[in-house]
Structure formats: structure tokens, C-alpha cells
């Protein structure tokens, strides 16, 4: 398995295919199109909201906006990438939402918008991490939250909670 640094292109970015090799998400639930910067303390990732995104078809009927919960999900996926970048054996771990604190939504996102997820690592140990996350549109913060994420052993967690992995 390649390291995360080995998946970066010459600009230091991760495209969608690289992201899918790091976190266990795929369309239609992958909320990151690419990562434009990633270091040990900060990540900046991009989500291009498309008018064809499934979630826009019913939220809201006649006024399609990206659900706030999916903006938080996108911030969480970016935070997951940041946390995994700090784990030597990230492929043996799952990173899970543990707590979402003080989520705020300042403006909507529509089809055609480009969101920039910016996450800063505030602290991390072998059990989890604390991240401050923002979603920006045209440089303006439209959503933000404090995220606490748990880091667990993948095999142990999955075998405990799913009969498929026993």
C-alpha cells in the first residue's frame, strides 16, 4: 500500500482517486473532489457542488440547497484525511465521528458552487483527534464546527459491530 505522500501529484495535491484509496468513501457519498494542500496540521479540500448531485433533487423542492449535515460530512471527511496523514498505520484504522460541537451555518451552498473545506488539527493522540473545521464559498465561511473524531482498530471495530466482518 502506498503512503499518502506517494499518492500526491507533483503539486502536492490528492485527486479523487487518491482520496478514495485513503478514506473508505465513494460516489454518491464522497464529499471531496480533491485535496489542494495537506500537511501534519492542516488540510484544504475542494467539493464542487453539482446541480446533478442527488441530494439537491429533494432538498429543498423548488429551492435546491446542499444540506448542512452534508457540509459537516464534507468537513469530517477532510478531517479524516488529516488525521490519517498523522497515522503510520492508517490503513489498519477507522476514523469515526465522535462529537460535533458548535456547528454553525451562515449561508447556503447551491449547485455550481465550489466549497473549500479547511481543517486545522488542534490535538491528536492514539485514541482520536480534535479538529476545527470550516466550509468556505468564495472565501467566506458558510459553515463551521468543532469535530472530535475517534481512531479505532479497523478489524476489531468492524468485527464487533457487523456480522459481515466476524
Residues designated as active site: 59
All three cell numbers of 77, joined, read 471527511
Q: Report DSSP state, residue 118.
A: E
Distance CA 56, CA 161 (A): 32
Cβ–Cβ < 8 Å for 136, 130: no
Q: What are phi and psi of 17, to 5 degrees?
A: -65, -40
Q: CA–CA distance from 115 to each of 47, 120, 143 (Å)?
A: 5, 16, 10
By C-alpha distance, which of 18, 103, 19, 41 is closest to 67?
Answer: 103
DSSP characters over 124-157: EETTEEEEEEEEEETTEEEEEEEEEEEEEEHHHH
Amino acid at each position: 500500500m502506498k503512503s499518502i505522500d506517494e499518492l500526491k501529484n507533483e503539486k502536492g495535491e490528492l485527486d479523487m482517486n487518491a482520496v478514495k484509496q485513503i478514506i473508505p468513501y465513494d460516489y454518491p457519498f464522497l464529499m471531496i473532489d480533491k485535496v489542494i494542500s495537506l500537511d501534519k496540521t492542516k488540510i484544504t479540500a475542494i467539493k464542487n457542488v453539482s446541480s446533478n448531485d442527488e441530494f439537491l433533487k429533494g432538498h429543498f423542492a423548488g429551492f435546491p440547497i446542499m444540506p448542512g449535515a452534508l457540509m459537516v460530512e464534507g468537513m469530517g471527511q477532510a478531517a479524516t484525511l488529516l488525521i490519517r496523514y498523522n497515522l503510520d498505520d492508517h490503513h489498519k484504522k477507522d476514523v469515526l465521528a465522535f462529537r460535533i460541537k458548535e456547528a454553525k451555518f451562515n449561508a447556503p451552498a447551491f449547485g455550481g458552487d465550489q466549497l473549500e473545506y479547511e481543517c486545522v488539527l488542534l490535538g491528536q493522540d492514539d485514541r482520536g483527534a480534535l479538529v476545527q473545521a470550516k466550509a468556505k464559498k468564495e472565501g467566506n465561511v458558510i459553515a463551521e464546527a468543532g469535530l472530535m473524531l475517534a481512531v479505532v482498530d479497523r478489524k476489531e471495530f468492524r468485527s464487533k459491530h457487523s456480522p459481515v466482518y466476524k
